[in-house]
Amino acid sequence: MRPLVLLALLLLGGCNDDLVFSPKLGDEQSYQVVTSTLVKPDGHYPSQHVDSQSLVRYRVTETGKVLRFDIANDYMALDASGQGRLRSDQPSSGDKEWRQLMAAGFELAVDANSGALVTLKGHDQALWQKALERGGSDLIRQLRQGMAVPGFVSAIPATPGATLALPDIQGHRATLTVDEVTPLQLSAHFSAEAEQARLYGRLQFDRKTTWLTHMALVMEAPFERFGITGQLRTLMVMAPKGSSLASLSYRTHYQQRDDEPFAIPTPPEQQSHAPATDHLYAEGYIDRRHDDLRLSYFLPGNPDRQELALDNIEALDASGQVIKDALLVQERSRYPLYGDIARIDTSLARTGWQENPTTIASIRADAKLYATTVRAKSLTLQPGKSQQLSLGGQTLTLSSPPNAPLELTLSHTNTATSWLLGFDGLQGTMNWQNDTKSLPDWLQPVEKEAIASIAGQGAEHLVFHLDKAPGQVTFYVLERSPEPVLRREVSFVSPNRYLANPHYPPPEALALFEGSDSAPLEPALHLDKGQGLLLTLPTAWQPLCKLSLDKGFSENGHPVTWQPAAVPEAGYLGFAAPGQQMVLATDDGKRRYFYGQSVTTRLDCTGTPGWQPLAFSADPASPWLVKVEGLDGNATVEATLARLQLLDDEGRPLALLDGHSGMPAKPGDTLASIGVDGYLRVAGLPVKARQLVVAPAPYQRQWTTDFPPLP
């Protein structure tokens, strides 16, 4: 419940020369908040981790002498080690009355002059009163503590270095120091240390709206619960709604970058900059297999030359009506699949505390495709001097100490439309450096990273340790087009409906067999642990070949023979294994490793199987749909794929899909039953094809193997 302490810090904001929080009636602000808390009891009790993600919304309902707010926790996910999980979007999660109390929301009023608490109550008065009457509830105590206004400052001087005393921040007497002031924002940090408690945080205010925008905070304090004492340590990261919850969560758990230097990477490849596709698909699909919803959309064309954004995401019920404010974007990610196809994933959480939420039948969004351009510019570096370079909407600042000409620092800030790609002309090592040196020593590395990320808001500092003095250096920035080059409304439907359209990209490439290839193209003999012998016989060779011994031996009266290592099992798609492995063993199968012996193996085949290139054609708009001339529509998939393989760019034989359902074709299906308008639907992007042919010339081969003696 600690995210609700944010309101206290809202009261530090403002505008003009001094920052004064002055919200307007009806103003509304939502924050995404992630916390990670470590509870360490004294004695032999185990420690406990409590992690939470929240979407907290504030709405101003009264201004003047009293500031009154409606506070709603629109989304919450709480994970307490040893005590299970709680999620607002899962009706079975948590106490029913507590869920009703949270769903109704809360009212908080404070004195506008002093910041003193005037009113704190739940909108559901009956449940609120009942909760108070229970007394001693940890939840209610934390809720009241979090909603109480711990400090109030009437004005923050818009002057870097100015300090203010905060009489009560979560029970601490703290000092706030202004770090930076720009026309758009004010940045500050606050800290407090007592005998058993300490606190440090950084925050930013929007000078125009007067609202708090970002915050990272670490609190450490003693606690007492049911007679148990100990220490409580919390890291909280907060950002406006629309930020990636997954990214915020990452900041609270992992040190983002290793301080160890690494080799300066090679410069990026130069590419054409036109958008790689001229169309967007009408549909993606909804994956409901996880706690959250996941939208998957497939983007054709080279993903490095374009960027896709999904905006205005809305949930629809079965009648096509919009379910208002139903979704919270958690994370956006992109994965290269095969060829030039990328999958764009968007993780969503269901907001609200409804016991019987309206079923989401589909989701729609506005898809916007942006072209990207690689910008390059060269600069002759001057050791010991500070230099700046404007490139692709960014300002790159380079500096090196006068007494260390081989140390170079590059500072820049990636934006929503511009990313630094790399550089050419620098040799040596480099590492990232965040502004963590000024932070208190008692903070842990991950806490320093989180706080520094709030202060920088995207700023990066790269430190180069050069092997030789630099001359001319070329910098590369990827710049996104200011406006989309393509737009369309996209629907996200069930996976079955998506798969039923053969003109949509397959969700993944499926190899016909597990592993990187089907089998060796020819029989292959190899040692097993140096003292045994294995031979792999590809499927096509088995009916044509005989394996024998020209020279063998016996062990304890049992001659050695070639025998199947195991009965080959069907692959994961149901097709026969691509080859049979044979093992040299005594005829009773008890021994397969030998010492100081020699054996000569002979393979005689009545023909010579081999793969030859095969021509095929692909649908230009849907290249996973292919035509191969001369195929028998009545032939089974298994029989066809035994003599014909469609290979991806890694040389793997690909499986076929049922052209109508999109599911993997079964071995017994006929080509006619799975085909679509004469095309075969491939589970991936084939780049070449091959067919099996058997040359009439006999094939013979002999191997002699000497097993080393016992050491």
> What does the alpha-carbon distance between residue 385 and residue 179 come to, in Å, rounded to a whole number?
25
Q: Which CATH number fits domain 2-253: 2.60.120, 2.30.230, 3.10.450, 1.20.120?
A: 2.30.230
Write the DSSP symbol of residue 510: -
In this structure, what token pair is assigned to residue 136?
């001693």
Residue 677 has pLDDT above 50, yes or no: yes
Q: What is the pLDDT of residue 419?
A: 86
Task: Please report the pLDDT score of residue 680 as a whole number.
Answer: 97
Band the pLDDT of 516: cuts 50, 70, 90.
very low
How far from chain centre, in Å, is Cα 519? 34
pLDDT given at position 171: 61
Average confidence (pLDDT) over 513-523: 62
Distance CA 211, CA 10 (A): 6
> Per-residue pLDDT averaged across 291-295, rounded?
85
SS3 540: helix
Task: Calculate the average pLDDT of the chain.
Answer: 84
Nearest Cα to 530, choosing from 480, 597, 434? Answer: 597
Which DSSP state fits 674?
Answer: H
pLDDT tens column, 390-412: 998 899 999 988 888 888 999 88
Range with lowest mean pLDDT among 79-83, 84-88, 152-156? 152-156
Q: How far is C-alpha 367 from the geometric centre of its chain's CA atoms?
A: 20
Q: Which residues on neighbouring strands pair with residue 142, listed in sequence order?
A: none
Whether the per-residue pLDDT at 566 is higher than 60: the answer is yes
More confident residue, 637 or 165: 637
> What is the model's pLDDT at position 506?
96
Q: Model confidence over 30-54: pLDDT tens digits?
A: 888 888 888 888 888 888 888 888 8
Helix (H, G, I), strand (E, B) or coil at 493: strand
Q: Which of 28-32, 191-195, 545-549 has the lowest mean pLDDT?
A: 191-195
The model's confidence at residue 537, banded by pLDDT at 50, 70 and 90, is: confident
The pairing of strands 545-551 and 262-263 is: unpaired
Share of the chain above pLDDT 90, in %: 36
- Rounded to whole angstroms, the Cα distance separating 89 from 351 reads 6
Q: Is the pLDDT of residue 256 over 60?
A: no
pLDDT over threshold 80, residue 20: no
Is pLDDT above 90 for 91? Answer: no
Mean pLDDT to the nearest integer, 233-262: 69
- 390: tokens are 């404007």
User: 311 is written with which tokens?
Assistant: 């905006």
Instruction: Render pLDDT for 432-443 as a digit per residue (tens, 0 to 9).
Output: 776 666 788 898
What's the N-to-C CA distance of the chain in angstroms? 69
Contact between 303 and 460 (Cβ < 8 Å): no
pLDDT per residue over 439-489, tens digit each? 888 988 888 878 877 765 557 788 899 998 888 999 999 898 889 999 999
115: confidence class by pLDDT, cuts 50, 70, 90: low
Per-residue pLDDT tens digits for 583-611: 999 999 899 999 999 999 999 999 999 88
Amino acid at 446: V
Overall average pLDDT of the 347-365 stretch: 90
Q: Tokens for 327?
A: 């979704």
Q: How far is CA 74 from the centre of its chain?
A: 23
Asked if 236 contacts 215 with a C-beta cutoff of 8 angstroms, the reply is: yes
Q: Is the pLDDT of residue 377 over 90?
A: yes
Distance of CA 176 to the CA centre of its chain: 36
- What's the confidence (pLDDT) of residue 5? 47
Q: Does residue 279 surpass a pLDDT of 80?
A: yes
User: Among all chains, which residue has been given the structure tokens 């511009």?
Assistant: 418
Compute the distance between CA of residue 228 and CA of residue 158 in angstroms, rounded to an integer. 45
Which tokens hold the place of 342? Answer: 């990328």
Mean predicted confidence (pLDDT) in 542-547: 91
Three-state SS for 240-251 is EECECHHHHHHH
Virtual torsion, Cα 74, 4, 236, 185, nearest 10 deg: 90
**pLDDT per residue as tens digits for the range 162-171:** 988 876 666 6
pLDDT at 315 over 90: yes
**Bridge partners, 492 (sequence order):** 284, 363
Given this model, what pLDDT does residue 13 score?
Answer: 46
pTM of the entire predicted model? 0.81
Full strand arrangement of the beta sheet holding 524-528: 524-528, 532-538, 579-586, 558-564, 554-555
**pLDDT score of 154:** 56
> How far, CA to CA in Å, does 522 sit from each of 518, 525, 535, 562, 654?
12, 10, 10, 18, 20
Query: Could you tell me how far CA 424 lies from the centroid of its own chain?
Result: 29
Q: 693: how many CB neighbours lie within 10 A of its CB?
A: 14
User: What residues contact 125, with CB distance under 8 A and at least 6 apart?
Assistant: none
Res. 110: pLDDT tops 90:
no
DSSP assigned state of 339: T
Length of the chain: 711
669 close to 658: Cβ distance less than 8 angstroms: yes
Strand blocks (E) in 443-528:
459-466, 472-480, 486-493, 524-528
- Answer whether residue 198 shows pLDDT above 70: yes
Contact present, 54 and 98 (Cβ < 8 Å) = no
pLDDT value of residue 14: 41
| Residue extent(s) of CATH 2.30.230 domains in the chain | 2-253
From 610, 608, 665, 664, select the one nearest 635 (Cα to Cα): 665
Helices vs. strands in the chain: H and E counts, helices first = 9, 45
Q: Give which of 510, 504, 486 is closest to 298, Cα–Cα.
A: 504
- Which residue did the predictor score with more confidence, 543 or 567? 543
Residue 377 Rama label (left phi>0; alpha psi -120 to 50; beta): beta
Continuous H helices in 614-666:
637-643
Contact in structure between 6 and 215 (CB atoms under 8 Å): yes
